[in-house]
Amino acid sequence: MYDTPRNAHIYTNARIATLATLSGEQSYGLVSGALVIVDGWIDHIGPIQSLPEKYARAPQTDLEGRLITPGLIDCHTHLVYGGSRANEFEMRLEGKSYAEISKAGGGIVSTVAATKAASDEELLLQTHKRLNNLLSEGVSTVEIKSGYGLDVETELRMLRIARRLSEQRPVRIQTTFLGAHAIPKGMSADAYIDDMCIPALRAAHTEGLVDAVDGFCENIGFTTAQISRVFDAAKELGLPVKLHAEQLSDQAGAQLAASYNALSADHLEYISDEGIAAMAKAGVVAGILPGAFYFLGETQKPPIRKLRAARVPMAVATDSNPGSSPMTSILMAMNMAATLFGLTPEECLRGVTVNAAKALGLTDCGTLEIGKRADLAIWDVDHPAELTYRMGDAPLYHRIFEGKIC
C-alpha cells in the first residue's frame, strides 16, 4: 500500500511546455502526460504510464490535451501610477517628440504630479484594473517599479501599494526601487540623487519594500556616474540592481550594469558590441521591451541577432507605463517581440518564463520542474507558438497560483 501525499492533485492528458531544456534543444521542453501538484509545488511530471503508485488515490483532472506552461512573468512594469498621458500622445501625433515633451515639463514628471495627487485608494483601484488584465493572460508574477514619486514619501507609498496588491490578489509581486527615474523640477540631478533618491532607497529598504534597484540611464535621465552612486548604495544594502539602458542613445549603461552584475539591462535599442560582450560575460539578462519601441514610433531596433549569437538570455516584458508603453498585455508584448524584433515564438515564451525569472533573480519559478512553485497557465491551444501568434485574444483555460485554480 502506498500513502497518497496529502493535497496531491494530478493533471492528466496534458501537453507540458516545461521550458526546462536549453533553447535550441528539444522544442519548448515539451512532455506529454501528467503533472502532479502537492501542497502548491510541482511533485512530478511525466508520461501517465510512469505515474508513481503513491499518487494512485489522488484526485485527477483530465486536461483533454491542453497545453500547460509556467505561469507567465512580467519582469518589467511601472504598473502603479496616477492619471493618464493621452494628451501627450496627441501632442506626439501632432509632431512633438517624446524627448521634447519631457524637456518641456511633460513626460515622467507629469505622471509624478498625478501620482502625488491621487489617494492610495485611487492608485490601488487604477492599478488593480491593469493587474487584472495581466492575470487574465496567465501571468502569475509581476515586477512593479516605483519612480513616479521622486520624493521619499511618494516613492514609499508606491512600493507599499505594490506590496498590497499581492495581499489582495493571487499574484506574486516583486518590487523595484526606481528613484533614479527623472529629475524633479527645480533640483539638480546630482542633488536629487544624493539628497533624495539614496535616502529614499535606504528608508524603503528599512521598511522591507525593496527587492531590487533600477535606474534610468539616458540623456534625458541620469548619467552612469549618478547611477553608480545609486548602485553603490544598493550594494551596501545587499540589493540586486538592474538598469534602463540604451533606450534612446548609447550611454554605455549596459557595461555599467554588467560591472555591477545586474540582473538585467532593459531596452537596449542603442547597445554597442562592447555592451553586448559585457552583458554576455557577466550573465546579465537583456530585457526586450517592444511596447515602448512601438508606441514611441522608434526605428532603431535592439540587435537581437547579436544578442542571440552572444548567448545573452532575453526576457520579454510589457514595460507597462503611462508614457511610453500603456500596454497591459504580456501576450501582445510577445507578439510584438516576434513581429517587430524577430524573436522566435519559443524565444518569446522563454522570455516571459525562464528568462523573466532570471531577470528577477527568482529560482523557484519560470520552468515546470519537480520542486518548482505550482504557478501554471493552462491554455486552450494546440501548439505553444499560438501564444505568440494571436493578437487580442488570450486563450487561457485556467490560471493556477500556488497550486490552486483562480
Positions in the binding site for Fe ion (CB under 5 A): 319
Closest contact distance (angstroms) between CB of 372 and ligand DI6 is 31
Which pairs count as long-range contacts for 196-199, CB under 8 Å and 24+ apart, including other chains?
A: 196/150, 196/151, 196/152, 197/230, 198/229, 198/230, 198/233, 199/152
Q: How many CB atoms lie within 10 A of CB 335?
A: 21
CA dihedral defined by 329, 331, 332, 335, rounded to 10 degrees? 170
Which residue of this chain has its Cβ atom nearest to ligand DI6 in the complex?
323
Per partner kind, with CB cut-offs from 5 to 8 A, the member of Fe ion, ligand DI6, none near residue 111 is ligand DI6
Q: Does 181 bind ligand DI6 (CB under 6 A)?
A: yes
Cβ nearer to ligand DI6, comparing 222 with 379: 222
Q: Which of 140, 174, 320, 321 binds ligand DI6 (CB under 6 A)?
A: 321
Residues from 384 through 403 that contact ligand DI6 (CB under 6 A): none
Residues from 146 through 175 that contact ligand DI6 (CB under 6 A): none
Q: How many CB atoms lie within 10 A of CB 347?
A: 23
Per partner kind, with CB cut-offs from 5 to 8 A, the member of Fe ion, ligand DI6, none near residue 384 is none
Q: Which of 146, 324, 329, 367 binds ligand DI6 (CB under 6 A)?
A: 324
Cβ nearer to ligand DI6, comparing 9 with 267: 267
User: Which residue type does 191 have?
Assistant: A
Residues from 91 through 120 that contact ligand DI6 (CB under 6 A): 107-108, 111
Q: How many CB atoms lie within 10 A of CB 22?
A: 11
Cβ nearer to ligand DI6, comparing 240 with 323: 323
Per partner kind, with CB cut-offs from 5 to 8 A, the member of Fe ion, ligand DI6, none near residue 292 is ligand DI6
Residues from 254 through 293 that contact ligand DI6 (CB under 6 A): 292
The grid coordinates of residue 65 equal 490535451
Q: How long, in residues, is the chain?
A: 406
Residues from 242 through 261 that contact ligand DI6 (CB under 6 A): 244, 247
DSSP string, 366-385: SS--TTSB--EEEES-SSTT
Q: Which of helix, strand or coil describes residue 209? A: coil
Place of cell 524584433: 341
Cβ nearer to ligand DI6, comparing 28 with 293: 293
Residues from 202 through 231 that contact ligand DI6 (CB under 6 A): 216
Residue 180 DSSP label: E
Question: Containing H/E element for 140?
Answer: strand 139-145
Contact residues for 46 (Cβ-Cβ < 8 A; gap 6+)? 31, 33, 34
> Where does this chain bind ligand DI6 (CB under 6 A)?
107-108, 111, 181, 216, 244, 247, 292, 319, 321-324
